[in-house]
Chains A and B, each alone.
Chain A
Amino acid sequence: MILEFNRLLKEKKISSKELTKKYLNAIKNVDDELNSYVTVEEEFALNSADVVDEKIKNNEEISPLEGIPFTLKDNISTKGIKTTCCSKILENYLPIYDAFVWERLKENNAILLGKANMDEFAMGSTCETSYFKGAKNPHNTKCVAGGSSGGVTAAVGAGIAAYGLGSDTGGSIRQPSSFCGVVGLKPTYGAVSRFGLIAFASSLDQVGPIATSAQDAALVYDEIALKDNKDTTSTGLKEKTFPHLNDEISGVKIGIAKEFFSYVDEEVKAKVDEAIKTYEKLGAKIVEISLPSLDFSLVVYYIIASAEASSNLGRYDGIRYGIRANSYGSIHEMICKTRSEGFGREVKRRILLGTYVLSSGFYDAYYKKANLVRGKIMREFKDAFKSCDVILTPTSPTTAFEAGYSKKDPVLNYMADICTVPVNIAGIPAISFPCGISGSNLPIGVQLIGPHFSEAKLLNMANIFEKETNRCYFKKVLKGVYPDEI
């Protein structure tokens, strides 16, 4: 889609401003129901488009992302544009600096349409913990978009953003991508700078692209995966992924671990099996592997992620920015009331959990042990990649849930992350892309996991799959903006 828009812009079939207007109109028409955006920056977007149109007018060369509208998850810091993490506590927060990834796209003259809905502080798998009510699924607005990057995946799935950036701590890019029928890449930990990504769990968080095709994801990824000296955990990518999109995949060894299939719906399993067959047809070899500690992943994840979150979210005290409780006596009371009023239930639950597992007397039993198991899971993946190049799994055990369904049982919510969480624990990359449509017309996603810095291979395999299946699992479901309709 990006390259097609790029061609249309270069051939002056449409100006960036016209294209941006189309998107803004589509948002107006569609998003009341979808609720994928929490902030739309109409004027800012149109002004940015003018810059690109001026370049085109002067016959200057434009790069692939220039002039094309996109969206950012609302936990990515944007100077002068509200960044709320979809929490009441940051309802009015205007950042004074730009996130590294936003700087990169800005340099590319990408057109930011607005900020996308998400679970509050990225904690959730449905987008429903958002203070601004969850984003709905474009394929069926009675269903959730998934989470936590549900706003971005809904917008991209509905054609009201050409692509977007989300963040993934335990599956927050991949699971909603799978629910909304789009492509989501969770990069290797460190490949993309986290500077300006509002931290949930610092040792797990990664920013990554969400797009309608592997090719688009590769184009975006190559622009954002650069070493940033402000994030000392950042490394950048080893090689550009775009040139490898069409590499030969025959002979690739795909590992299948039964542990990933334990809780999976029959329908999902059937479509994933079909995807495996497609790869076999393309010359891939299927290898059975085992990851015996995988079952512990969820426990490890909820301990480590909550522990880090409890610390990362301590700064929201109402003193420097964000909301502050109206009435209070002491400073202590001000902080308590601000936090009690400002955070939602799920966030509070995780802060409590995280505070508990780090407390003296419990640290050894929980946090320390979780880190030991984390090491074991990492080693098991490392061993697994000795016998295969990538591991194929369902992205989510189910298709999108009905709205409100999972609110009753938080643990059910947590289970939805079973296939994606281990990837964050190991710090390795994974991609989710559509591989089928369910009987009730909901998208089904498949996930490929690779060793550290294997993004090129993952995008390559997803791209070949899309080509082989004629992109038949990508559906235009709402009145969005598409290059073939211009």
Chain B
Amino acid sequence: MKYEIVLGLETHVELSTKTKIFCGCTTSFKGEPNTHCCPICIGLPGTMPKLNEEVVNFAIMAGLATNCKIAEFSKMDRKNYVYPDLPKAYQISQHDKPLCYDGSISLSNGRVIGIERIHIEEDAGKLIHQAGKTFVDYNRGGVPLIEIVTRPDFRDVEEAVEYLELLQLNMRYINVSDCKMQEGSLRCDVNVSVRLKGEEKLGTRTEIKNMNSFNNIRKAVNFEKERQIEILENGGKVQQETLRFDVATGVTSPMRSKEDAHDYRYFKEPDLGLIYVERQKVEEIKKSLPELAHNKLLRYVEEFKLPVLDAKLLVEYKAVADYFEKSVENVKDVNSYKNCCNLILSLIFSKFETEAEKENFKILVSEKEMAKLLNLLETKKIRNNMAKKALEEMLETGKKVEEVISFEDLKEITKEELENFCKDAVKNNEKAVKDFLNGKTKAIKALVGHVMKLSKGRADANLAEKILEELINK
């Protein structure tokens, strides 16, 4: 392939503040059309916006989570365009002085994606086409958004997808947005251009608007890449234009002709003052930020010695990571981290069917009970399979550790007892013994199983195997 693809992303993230950006209406997306509106967010004549302080705080958090600098002074501007879902005929946004700038996100392949800016703005309403008529619902109008603009730093669509996954994860971690693509709280425009490998100058880009899933991004970008390469190969020139992606046909097509190109006529919003962010406030927000998913992942691998893949699964949902960390708060043995991780990934995760369930992570076993279980494992009072059995029951019934593991179960097994169990196993499994003697070393497992059964899982499997081998070889 002699061509290289260059991508840049503009991502809109809906902030989960309680109220809208310029009025006191709720941001909840539930509710009958036009019930979360007031004179301000439907832009009635004479109304004025008032900037919601929480929006600024959330955006600063998002900026800090993506290594951005926070502008001491920024301002709001009017972006003028006419559309029925935009009740003032301008969107209050930020043009040349965004709140956050110069950030970055690191990808797993070591490449660093530059973030040019993050600015705050208001969302528009929604048009609803029904029975040949068009209706408009302004509930979403005035819901706060941040727009995160990257530099053209992606060289592969998978990098773009990983970036979006990380962004999604980080925004959820700091609790500023639920970032659900299918619900529109994360929306993405992709800038695509191609150039000959080794070429430094960027090619002419096209912008694919409103992508709503990772898969569509992959499809749209690949289609667009082929289309642009074909144009260049035929000696043509790529037109800078805005495209839409048709999911059904898998084809990109221009959204509007050049004559209709928007001239947004930006100018400073005269109804709002400058936004001044005190340095002290930035420091305070920085301190209050939770550990980000990416850093958590690194820590899990280093401190808890977890395999990268396991650690990745744990940090993917903040509630899961929180549960994990609370459970292992007091453990001393490094194996307990692995034990806890295994129990969560094998037993607890399988209980959940949807993403939302994993995200909420509502289970009947408290961290305290989990810690008790880990402690029993750590002190070798119980074995892994018993722990699993116990946990299964606890998950089902909500019982405590002491209610599912009896005193009898915990009694330490004596050498003599173990030897007796082993003798019993050898006596009652002639075939397995024969197999073993004939060189089928795996046959010993059946014998160990027998011992475990007799000991109700209390036996140390390794020790049992050793005794069994000695008995057979005698």
Contacts and interface: CB of A to CB of B under 8 A. Distances in A.
A99 B265 CA distance: 29
Interface in B258-280: 263, 265-267, 270-273
Interface stretch (B47-55, B59-67, B183-191, B444-452): B47-55
Interface string A311-343: 100110101110000000001000100000000
Contacts, number: 99
Given A203-B270, A311-B267, A317-B82, A197 B46 contact: yes
B117 interface: no
B136 A315 contact: no
A308 interface: yes
Interface residues of A, number: 43
A360 B44 CA distance: 28
Contacts of A90: 45
A99 B46 contact: yes
Interface stretch (A42-50, A229-237, A476-484): A229-237
A311 B82 contact: no
Contacts of B46: 75-77, 95, 99, 194-199
Contacts of B112: none
A358 interface: yes
B84 interface: yes
B271 A233 contact: yes
Contacts of B271: 194, 199, 202, 231-233
B186 to A, nearest CB: 28
Nearest to A322: B45
Interface string A223-264: 000000111110000000000000000000000000000000
B89 interface: yes
The interface size bin for chain B is 20 to 34
Query: In terms of DSSP, what is the predominant structure of the interface of chain B?
Result: loop
Contact of B136 (A229, A311, A319): A319
Interface in B129-170: 134, 136
A433 interface: no
A229 B39 contact: no
A296 interface: no
Contacts of B136: 319
Contact of A194 (B42, B48, B50): B48
B90 interface: yes
> Which of A203, A232, A367 lies at the interface centre, i.e. has the most chain B CB atoms within 10 A of its CB?
A232
A131 to B, nearest CB: 15
A314 B267 contact: no
Given A311-B267, A314-B89, A320-B87, A97 B43 contact: no
A307 interface: yes
A85 interface: yes
B44 A231 contact: no
A229 B52 CA distance: 12
Interface in A83-107: 83, 85, 90, 93, 95-97, 99
Contacts of A197: 46
Given A358-B265, A359-B265, A367-B267, A311 B80 contact: yes
A355 interface: yes
B358 interface: no
A274 B90 CA distance: 50
Contacts of B265: 310-311, 355, 358-360, 363
B78 to A, nearest CB: 5
A311 B89 contact: yes
> Which of B46, B47, B136, B270 lies at the interface centre, i.e. has the most chain A CB atoms within 10 A of its CB?
B46
A311 B48 CA distance: 14
5 contacts: A85-B45, A310-B265, A314-B82, A335-B82, A363-B265
Interface of B: 39, 42-51, 78, 80, 82, 84, 87-90, 134, 136, 263, 265-267, 270-273
Given A233-B272, A233-B273, 6 more contacts: A76-B46, A199-B271, A320-B42, A355-B265, A358-B80, A358-B265
Q: Ordered nearest first, which 7 A-B pairs have the shortest CB separation?
A: A314-B89, A358-B265, A202-B270, A203-B270, A198-B45, A77-B46, A196-B46
